[in-house]
Amino acid sequence: MNRAIVAVCLLAACRDKPIAQPATGDAGPGKPLAATAPAPRDAAAVDPWVQPDAASDTPEARRKRADAALGRVATIKIQLAKLRSLSFDHELPTAFQSAAEFRAFVHREIAKELPPDQSKDLSAALFHVGLLTKPIDLAEVEEQAATTQAGAYYDPAVKSFFLVMVPDSELMLDTISAHELTHGLQDQHFDLIKYLPPKLDDDAATARRFVVEGDATFTMLLYAVGKDKINPAMLGVLRGQIEKFSSLDLAGLKDMTRQQSAAFSSMDGDIKKSIDAMDDIPATVLVPMLDSYMKGALVDLIAYQQGGWPAVDALFRNPPESTEQVLHPATKLFPNRDRPHRVSLAVPAGARPIANNVMGELQWSIYFGLWKPDLATKASEGWGGDRYMVVRRADGRLVATTATIWDTPADAKEFADAYLASLAVRFPGSPDPTTGVTRPGGGKVFVRTLGTKVFIVDGVDEPTAVDAAIKSTKFD
């Protein structure tokens, strides 16, 4: 969902070890210091993870907590604007929204962005290229994934912040508000709808979401520390903790989300079902969504260390172009950008494209994580650009063409070798890959490496299709 910026309550990331406030002395990234829990604002110290008792969890009590939380927004805005060094130039409407209203909103947005025919085609394409292990209803899965993050959201289309879940903790509520109000600041200064336009390829869009959600998460965590001024020691401690949580694998991310849900004893039944069923959400959908928070926070923190808030603001004016850049911000984004090559593919005669997009480093790591987990990092790093296209031929068969370019010939060979190894897992019993890997249902997969480039044609009968793809592909 490019239009709706949806929040997840990342206090869960600090449950085992609270956000640390610097002790005396200097600290570098990851250097341990005495950690103290952030003090709740205008409230006695509370444990945000204690579930409310039945008396405080009635609909009336929840509405009262929501109204009180929204009433504190004016004060939070003042503190947040000072912390983030951006002003609220006009009013930002806020409202409490029921879980049913939130689910209806998500359903409408998904239906607009992914209507049934498009969902069916895209689902088939992702299954064909191996990003899905089984056919799914992609629109339904996208909706399920979005509802796992039901704490609150900011909608740039109506310039409003909606509070959905109301835990019995002012600390948690105010921290959620800080996250969403940061999105409001972003929208007023950088126009989030223009920043996340539908025309972006998926890899570039994911990179920009890292910036958007990362800024809101980084600012939220600074707010939770309760300091108006940011010092290097605080940043060093925070960077170490963010790096720790940004290194979580998918199982860890799912566990963190489930822990978050434990704080909401009154959670809507359908939302709880979505969270409980997270294992059914494919990694190709879930990982980019979850990674954008903590890994995105690391991107914005490193930008801040490069040049303060102006350097963070610059990521909105000159966005990152690939997930490679945001997955390796200290080397691929700063101090100089490793810019991706743009790849163009030709549509085969008589075929209808059903998918035409960029995988990028993140989706390649997800692909290999499904089929050859031990090779996921090695095979996806060194990425320099790609594009894949899935077409439906007149006879109904799907054919995918993928062209990739890598930093070095060695990187290209690592990728090609890993890809061939993944085919042996996806299509057991296939013959020698030099003659094409046979796939069930007809057609073969051909892989060819030319220096730093690797070409894949998946679903054809003859290797001459690779020659045609090589000839028609353009790299900038």
Mean pLDDT over each residue of the chain, to the nearest integer = 85
3-class DSSP state of 97: coil
pLDDT of 473 higher than 70: yes
3-state helix, strand, coil in the chain (%, to 5): 55, 15, 35
The per-residue pLDDT for range 111-158, each reduced to its tens digit, is 999 999 999 999 999 999 999 999 999 999 998 888 776 688 999 999
Is residue 309 classed as helix, strand or coil in its secondary structure? Answer: helix
Residue 300 CB partners (closer than 8 Å, separation 6+): 211, 214, 215, 217, 218, 312, 315
Tokens of 64: 């009262």
Looking at the predicted structure, is the pLDDT value of residue 41 above 90? no
More confident residue, 237 or 186: 186
| H helical segments located in 402-463 | 409-426
- How far apart CA 58 and CA 469 sit, in angstroms, is 62
Mean pLDDT value across residues 330-338: 97
- Ranked by mean pLDDT, the top range of 161-165, 255-259, 350-354 is 350-354
Q: What is the pLDDT of residue 109?
A: 92
CA-to-CA distance for 152 and 174, rounded, in angstroms? 11
Residue that the structure tokens 């940061």 belong to: 182
Question: Once rounded to an integer, what is the mean pLDDT over residues 270-289?
Answer: 76
Sign of CA pseudo-dihedral 234, 236, 240, 243: positive
Higher pLDDT, 69 or 46: 69
Neighbour count for residue 72 (Cβ, 10 Å): 15
Rounded to whole angstroms, what are the CA distances from 283 to 5, 25, 394? Answer: 20, 42, 31
CA-CA distance, 445 to 460, in Å (whole number)?
7
User: Going by C-beta distance under 8 Å and a sequence separation of 6 or more, which residues neighbour residue 404?
Assistant: 343, 383, 384, 385, 386, 412, 415, 453, 454, 455, 456
Q: What is the mean pLDDT of residues 253-274?
A: 59
How far is the C-alpha of 370 from the C-alpha of 458, rounded, in Å? Answer: 18
Per-residue pLDDT tens digits for 410-419: 999 999 999 9
Percent share of the chain, pLDDT over 70: 81
Phi first, then psi: give them for residue 155, nearest 5 degrees: -110, 105
Residue 40 pLDDT: 37
Whether residue 415 contacts residue 382, with contact meaning beta carbons closer than 8 Å, is answered with: yes
Phi, psi angle pair for 437, to nearest 5°: -90, 120
| Rounded average pLDDT over 210-226 | 93
**Going edge to edge, which strands form the sheet with 94-96?**
5-7, 152-155, 160-163, 94-96
Query: What is the mean predicted confidence (pLDDT) over 446-451?
Result: 97
- pLDDT higher than 60, residue 440: yes
Average pLDDT over residues 203-216: 97
pLDDT at 316 over 70: yes
Q: How many CA atoms lie within 13 A of 171 on its CB side?
A: 21
pLDDT digits (tens, 9 = 90+) for 219-228: 999 998 876 6
pLDDT of residue 449: 97
Q: Please tell me the distance from the alpha carbon of residue 105 to that of residue 432, in angstroms, as a whole number.
A: 50
> Given this model, what pLDDT does residue 320 score?
98
Mean pLDDT of 320-349: 97
Domain boundaries, the chain: 5-333, 343-475
Minimal CA–CA distance to 423: which of 411, 435, 413, 438? 438
- Tell whether the model's pLDDT for residue 47 goes beyond 70: no
DSSP labels for 387-409?
EEEEEE-TTS-EEEEEEEEESSH
Q: What is the model's pLDDT at position 50?
A: 46
- Token match 């579930």: residue? 51
CA–CA separation, 133 and 41 (whole Å): 47
C-alpha dihedral sign at 463, 464, 466, 467? positive
Asked if 158 and 183 touch (Cβ cutoff 8 Å), the reply is no
For 2-28, what is each residue's pLDDT tens digit?
Answer: 444 444 443 333 333 333 333 333 333
pLDDT digit string (tens) for 342-377? 999 999 999 999 999 999 999 999 999 999 999 999
How would DSSP label each residue in 265-301? TT--HHHHHHHHTGGGS-HHHHHHHHHHHHHHHHHHH
